[in-house]
Structure 1
Amino acid sequence: MRAGGLICLTLLASGCASIQKERGHAEVAVLVEERLGRKTRWNQGTPEDAEVQRHLDTLLKEDLTSDRAVEVALLNNPSLQSTYEDLGVSQADMVQAGLLSNPTLSGSIGFPISGIGVAEHEFSLVQEFVDLFTLPLRKRVAQEQFIADTLRVAHEALSTAAEVRKAFSEVQARQQLVELRRRVLEAAESASDLAARQREAGNITELERAIEQAGAEEARLVLAQEELALVEDREHLNRLLGLWGPRTQWKVSEMLPAPPSEEAPLERLESLAIRQRLDIDAARKQASLLWNALELARSTRYFGSVEVGVHTHRDANGPRLFGPTLSLELPIFDQRQALIARLESQHRQGEQRLVELSVNARSEVRAARARLLSLRLVAERYRQVVLPLREKVVEQSQLQYNGMQLGLYQLLTAKREQVEAYRSYIEAVRDYWMARAELERLVGGRLPGDTGDASLQPPSPGQTTQPTQPEHGQPRDGGTETPHEHGQH
């Protein structure tokens, strides 16, 4: 009995384990902060969660920026919080893999039917023996699975941050486009009112008046579409941030920044992605753990269930007996050949997934890099060439209008074309920042040597790149008044 008790204590000491709630998420928080510079948190209904909610309110009271939006999402995105729970599931599986199977206690007692003799009874305590030898390898497989799950969760956090940055750039651009369309509508309404007065005076034809009225109505419809798109973009960002109720009243005051004056070095991004991407690292760990699982199955294929224990027995008219027991499963039919074949296929699948993911990552990085550079070129051409040319067209049109060599509506047309060029510039800048966020996601973190200057602002329509001296009959700003102002004039 003393030997049986010693075996029980040994098995109990080796088989017990505990769950640590913060385990795994601490590693995720470190990985995310290294790559984004922002903290993340797993809400578990603790008193610290209330402090996080107060911090969220503080962030949302101020003007929202791209970095603050990412921080809000990391702390509050419901889908991300749900993904964090995968760490708890994975940790439970890891702890379970480190536990020994429970011993089995069995017993029986028999009573004489005829009433002659004494009762007969027996008891046994049995423990699965193979578990003692396979426990270290099983724990290693489970630990590698937990590491792979941790990397996948961190990758989801980085992907969420990239989506938030893209959605935030969309909102910034849409706000500027809405404001731009309002100015276009004001100019179109002014032109329509002027055309109505000129028609009453008999200075223009009914066709010219109808053209201006149609232009004003079309501008009104385009503004309505832009305002609806802004609502949809804000709600998309609200979903990513996990906001509802009063928290959705956040404001974005800063304009969409222009591309930085110098682009960060984009060489060797493929190698950086292979080295830094967390989903690739997770796939690498997954292939490794499948190999270890395969080795475990191969090493125990000729060992069935082995149960070792103690047994005590007393016959009706005999002495009490006590001794060890051994029960062996003979692997005659099932030698785990099906399990081994499945694990071999899964291991090969894991290796091919790793190769596929690596090849796709390299290709996606190359494509994203080419897109980023192309969009940067488009934005720069608009800012350096197209917008100054459109400004020059408006300036020259203004001069000819002042000299009565050009009609008012031709001047307004030139101004509208300038506004349309500015709209295209805003969209190009928006696409640049969205492409940049996507490239950061594809390389698994910030771009090397990132020196983006968020203080640069895109020029407003009519902004002069080179100051000019006002001439006789020319506005003092060099012909940069808005169509609305000129219409009033």
Structure 2
Amino acid sequence: MNSPANPGRGAPDRPSVRRSGVLVVVLVSAVLAGCASFSPDAGFSSIESAAKDKLGKDVRWARSDADVDTIDRRVRELLAKPLSVDDAVQVALLNNRGLQARFQDLGITEAEVVQAGRLPNPGFTFGRLRQGDEVELERGLHLNLARLLTLPLVSQLEARRFEQVKREVTMDVLSLAADARKAYFQAVAAEETVRYMRQVKQTAEASAELARRMEQVGNFSKLARAREQAFYADAALGLARADQAQRASRERLARLLGVWGDQLQFQLPERLPDLPAEARNQPDIEAVAMAQRLDVQAAKLGAEQTAKNLGLTRTTRFINVLELGLVRNTSNEAPRQTGWEIGLELPLFDWGGARVARAEAIYMQALHRAAQTAINARSEVREAYGNYRTAYDIARHHRDEIVPLKRRISEEQLLRYNGMLIGVFELLADARSQVGSVYTYIESLRDFWLAQSDLDMALIGKAAMAAPAGPSAAAAEAAGAPH
């Protein structure tokens, strides 16, 4: 049993002191906890604004069953008709589950920001010691004072990290849109190529069959028939490769769109969009990229955050084990004791210089990385613009020069055939020479739209640009050229 308090020692004042101390701690905790709260949308409105401003598309975060149903209805509406490139991008932004998973990082990071802005719960300790007939009770209420002192700085750092996460998620949205756009053009070009190669194979099959019959009646040599048969074999191989490329490109597009089951029956147009009348002329493209590139902005934000971390290290290196506590001892022999205590780590052996040096090195590292990001961004946008202009010139050359020239040659050969100046196999040989030109024009038109997609992406973020490719093996084989 505890001994009664001694009235002669001012006992009536101790409960009021104790209550006031506890009240101060509770009030401070309540005020600090109230400073951090959740936003209505976890910062998703900035993602929506970026998608609307830079892409002209909608994004939706599926946070409930109602959101999932709304997204599903919208996706089915878009897939019910032949997909345009804009519809394909919209489906990907709404239906890609990987993007939906990325949106959850907003909620996770915001929760961490809110948690960083709240003071940890105070701790209570209780001890009981007995020595003979003497019983000593010890109670304490502890509060992390170091966390209290650094709370404003930590909250600012976490808020900046949240902004960085929002930029990264925005970049993922834009990257997905660019990937879906490129996959769409590749899939359409592949289907157009399959249709054309199927016509080539049918023509080659008819030519080979005619050559076989003419050889049987003695009007055709074995060498000439072998040439026709070889053209048919190459055409069949070209069709098989085109089929394989078509399936692969369509599956890649399906993955980006997030479709499965009956949704895989989505329809694509029969041909690629026409080449624009003029190519873009952007002499100030580097300045535009520096003002818009999200990775450059994120690198700057990261350097600023590191600088703040450096300042925080210098401020708190002596108070990293600083605690504030309310103490109360009770014994059955001694009168009650109330008061408070502070524990402070003495910098006798570790003055924190190593941590400061490390923070300074990390800060300089962040500066150099930000500078390298800007240098890479300038180079990437120049490369993307160069690829775009070259792809446009190549596609225009095929459209305006090579394909019309081949068509005129074919028309002249047809006139000669009608005038019985050449035979059917000469006419078919000329048709073979047109196969490669048509195939490479489809490729060049596809490459132009891919290059434009890369350029659009390079102006707002890092683009995954592919190296320009030469004529494909299938085109060379179909044209009868060595490869």
TM-score by shorter chain over 0.5 = yes
Whether 2:290 is the aligned partner of 1:274: answer: yes
Instruction: State the 1:45 CA deviation.
Output: 4.1
1:474 matched to which residue of 2?
Answer: none
Match of 1:76, as an amino acid? N
Q: Deviations over 1:220-273 (max 9, x none)?
A: 221111111100110111111222211111110252012211223322111111
1:469 matched to which residue of 2?
Answer: none
Residues 304 and 194 (structure 1), Cα distance of their counterparts in 2 relative to 1, 3 Å cut: closer
- Alpha-carbon separation, structure 1, partners of 2:294 and 2:127: 56
1:182 matched to which residue of 2?
Answer: 198
1:256 partner SS: coil
Instruction: State the 1:18 CA deviation.
Output: 4.0
Q: CA RMSD in A?
A: 1.9
1:171 partner SS: helix
Whether 2:62 is the aligned partner of 1:60: answer: no
Correspondence for 2:308 among 292, 311, 325: 292
Instruction: State the 1:62 CA deviation.
Output: 1.4
- Asked if structure 1 preserves the Cα contact closer than 8 Å seen for 2:71 and 2:95, the reply is no
1:256 matched to which residue of 2?
Answer: 272
- Alpha-carbon separation, structure 1, partners of 2:259 and 2:40: 26
2:201 partner SS: helix
2:19 matched to which residue of 1?
Answer: 2
- Alpha-carbon separation, structure 2, partners of 1:18 and 1:331: 37
Deviates more, 1:155-164 or 1:25-34: 25-34
Residues 71 and 336 (structure 1), Cα distance of their counterparts in 2 relative to 1, 3 Å cut: farther
Unaligned runs of 5+ in 2: 1-17, 462-483
Q: Write out aligned runs for 1:14-29 (5 A).
A: 14-16=32-34, 17-20=36-39, 22-29=41-48
Whether 2:27 is the aligned partner of 1:13: answer: no
Residues 376 and 184 (structure 1), Cα distance of their counterparts in 2 relative to 1, 3 Å cut: same
2:107 matched to which residue of 1?
Answer: 88
Q: Write out aligned runs for 1:164-243 (5 A).
A: 164-243=180-259
- Asked if structure 2 preserves the Cα contact closer than 8 Å seen for 1:21 and 1:88, the reply is no
- Alpha-carbon separation, structure 2, partners of 1:94 and 1:255: 50
1:473 matched to which residue of 2?
Answer: none
- Alpha-carbon separation, structure 2, partners of 1:338 and 1:89: 32
- Alpha-carbon separation, structure 2, partners of 1:254 and 1:184: 17
Q: Deviations over 1:121-180 (max 9, x none)?
A: 222212122333321111111111111111011111111111111111111111111111
1:358 matched to which residue of 2?
Answer: 374
Match of 1:434, as an amino acid? L
Residues 335 and 248 (structure 1), Cα distance of their counterparts in 2 relative to 1, 3 Å cut: farther
Q: Write out aligned runs for 1:371-390 (5 A).
A: 371-390=387-406
- Alpha-carbon separation, structure 2, partners of 1:33 and 1:281: 19
- Alpha-carbon separation, structure 2, partners of 1:5 and 1:146: 33
- Alpha-carbon separation, structure 2, partners of 1:190 and 1:435: 38
1:482 matched to which residue of 2?
Answer: none
- Asked if structure 2 preserves the Cα contact closer than 8 Å seen for 1:379 and 1:428, the reply is yes
Q: TM-score, normalised by structure 1?
A: 0.86
2:466 matched to which residue of 1?
Answer: none
- Asked if structure 1 preserves the Cα contact closer than 8 Å seen for 2:186 and 2:249, the reply is yes
Whether 2:329 is the aligned partner of 1:313: answer: yes
1:325 partner SS: strand
Instruction: State the 1:21 CA deviation.
Output: 7.2
Q: TM-score, normalised by structure 2?
A: 0.87
Residues 342 and 76 (structure 1), Cα distance of their counterparts in 2 relative to 1, 3 Å cut: farther
- Alpha-carbon separation, structure 2, partners of 1:335 and 1:242: 55
1:34 matched to which residue of 2?
Answer: 53
- Asked if structure 2 preserves the Cα contact closer than 8 Å seen for 1:107 and 1:122, the reply is yes
- Asked if structure 2 preserves the Cα contact closer than 8 Å seen for 1:303 and 1:331, the reply is no
Q: Deviations over 1:408-465 (max 9, x none)?
A: 21211222222321111110010000011011111018xxxxxxxxxxxxxxxxxxxx
- Alpha-carbon separation, structure 2, partners of 1:154 and 1:339: 34
Residues 246 and 336 (structure 1), Cα distance of their counterparts in 2 relative to 1, 3 Å cut: farther
Match of 1:286, as an amino acid? G
Identity of matched residues, %: 35
Match of 1:100, as an amino acid? L
Deviates more, 1:7-16 or 1:62-71: 7-16
